[in-house]
Structure 1
Amino acid sequence: MKLSSELKAFAGRIGYTFKRPELLHRAVTHSSMSSPTRDDNQRLEFLGDRVLGLVMAEALFMADTAATEGQLAPRFNALVRKETCADVAREFDLGAVLKLGRSEMLSGGRRKEALLADAMEAVIAAVYLDGGFEAAKALVLRLWGKRVTAVDADARDAKTALQEWAQARKLPPPKYVVVERTGPDHAPVFTIEARLENGESQSATANSKRQAEQAAAKLLLARLEGTT
């Protein structure tokens, strides 16, 4: 199997030459395009998630030999979460080469955070299967770049941090309410409000519910802690 010009260009962008091109084909094939003769990327996504986790755990462990487990864990979570994987995928234009069914394509699948994140993990698995762990490790460290060394010392995601703030004050977990949805189906925009039982709330707008929830939580926590 040969790579199309688009996939060759993508392989060039990520800096890896596949000996088994079929692995990259599978990595960019969404389940909406699967068939009895065409595998999708779900199994690769499962494997790639684990490879990414090991690479990041080792990188953080070696980068800060004085850090405790409690300090390393939130940094790790920040580097492997779906939002970060999707950001990396966008940086290298992975969405442009995704193989999607018609319905996913029409609904803006090339820009969907979950699809991009899963495909990015699948690409990592494809490199792992094609070239081994060291090749996958080099790929991840190259693609994640300065994110690894620049990750915040306290890199808890905002929703987790806000929930911990509430729990410390014996409040129920925050609620996240969609207050507005605009834009076409293929490019929706969500405004979500983070609400606490004590009456505090804050809204934020983003292109996905997850991003809007995180942004609202971050803004609310910053106000509660007096940092804005």
Structure 2
Amino acid sequence: MSGGMVPDTRAWLESTGFTVKDEALWQVALTHGSMGEKRDYERLEFLGDRVLGLAIAQWLYDQSEAPEGKLAQRLNAIVSREMCAKVARGIGLASHIRISKQAHADGGRDSDNILGDVVESLLGAQFVENGFKDARDLVHVLFRPALESGAGISKHPKSALQEWAAGNRRKPPEYEVVERSGPDHSMTFTVEVTVLNVGSAQGTASSKSEAEREAARAFMEKFG
């Protein structure tokens, strides 16, 4: 691995709430694959995704008597790529990501996918070095605005559309990716949703699932 951690980055991590011991681990957690180094953030992101999911699931279970379906609906909204990217922007993560000049020029530092992945990789590093309790406590701090905002309480647009179609005796909505654009690390997807004999609508976002959600929302605004 080239060089050590930039002092400003360590100071930023610690002021944000992360507990840094092994700088090399945190360097990996901030390293995008475009750097071409032996290790990047992907393995820590895999781990951090599970840490985040469990921390939020436990919080929701403790704070609410809602049934499983409602808990799952809120969990999915709070741990979504969009929400993770929002947290990343809120803590000023972008400037600390180690990313190639080309990927940066292609908009990588503002990609929801990359920002969300690095938030999860940092939570993975927090878990590895400091255990689940410290990682969970930090999740509660970083995601408190999402937890307290009621994210996920309203019905997901795809669920709303599915129920609308069933209630109107229509065939289930069908989703199709009609366009992909941009580099691999910063893709944009356009999805079209169609309900037979009713019509169609499109949505565009940085992930297929978000584009499907936008398409469903657009459909409901148009036909619902």
> With structure 1 as the length reference, what TM-score do the two structures score?
0.80
Residue 167 of structure 1 and its aligned partner are, at CA, apart by 4.9
Distance 1:164 1:7, change over 3 A: farther
Distance 1:216 1:210, change over 3 A: same
Q: Is the CA contact 2:175–2:191 (under 8 Å) kept in the aligned structure 1?
A: no
Q: Deviations over 1:58-87 (max 9, x none)?
A: 0000111x2111211101111112111111
2:171 alignment partner, SS class: coil
Letter in 2 for 1:47: L
* Matching of residues 36-47 of structure 1 within 5 Å: 36=38, 39-47=39-47
RMSD of the TM alignment (CA)?
Answer: 3.1
Q: Is the CA contact 2:10–2:20 (under 8 Å) kept in the aligned structure 1?
A: no
Q: Deviations over 1:94-114 (max 9, x none)?
A: 221111234322211111111
Write the distance in 1 (CA, Å) between the matches of 2:163 and 2:35: 41
Query: Which residue is 2:131 aligned to?
Result: 132
Report how many aligned residue pairs link the two structures.
221
- The range that moved more, 12-21 or 171-180, is 171-180
Q: Is the CA contact 2:32–2:40 (under 8 Å) kept in the aligned structure 1?
A: yes
- The range that moved more, 81-90 or 145-154, is 145-154
Residue 5 of structure 1 pairs with residue 3 of structure 2:
no
Query: Which residue is 2:143 aligned to?
Result: 144
Query: Which residue is 1:29 aligned to?
Result: 31
Write the distance in 1 (CA, Å) between the matches of 2:176 and 2:73: 22
> With structure 2 as the length reference, what TM-score do the two structures score?
0.81
Write the distance in 1 (CA, Å) between the matches of 2:77 and 2:204: 21
Q: Is the CA contact 2:187–2:206 (under 8 Å) kept in the aligned structure 1?
A: yes
Write the distance in 1 (CA, Å) between the matches of 2:186 and 2:117: 19
Letter in 2 for 1:43: R
Query: Which residue is 2:50 aligned to?
Result: 50
Q: Is the CA contact 2:42–2:121 (under 8 Å) kept in the aligned structure 1?
A: yes
Q: Is the CA contact 2:177–2:189 (under 8 Å) kept in the aligned structure 1?
A: no
Write the distance in 1 (CA, Å) between the matches of 2:154 and 2:27: 34
Q: Is the CA contact 2:77–2:152 (under 8 Å) kept in the aligned structure 1?
A: no
- The range that moved more, 70-79 or 169-178, is 169-178
Write the distance in 1 (CA, Å) between the matches of 2:18 and 2:179: 44
Residue 54 of structure 1 and its aligned partner are, at CA, apart by 0.6
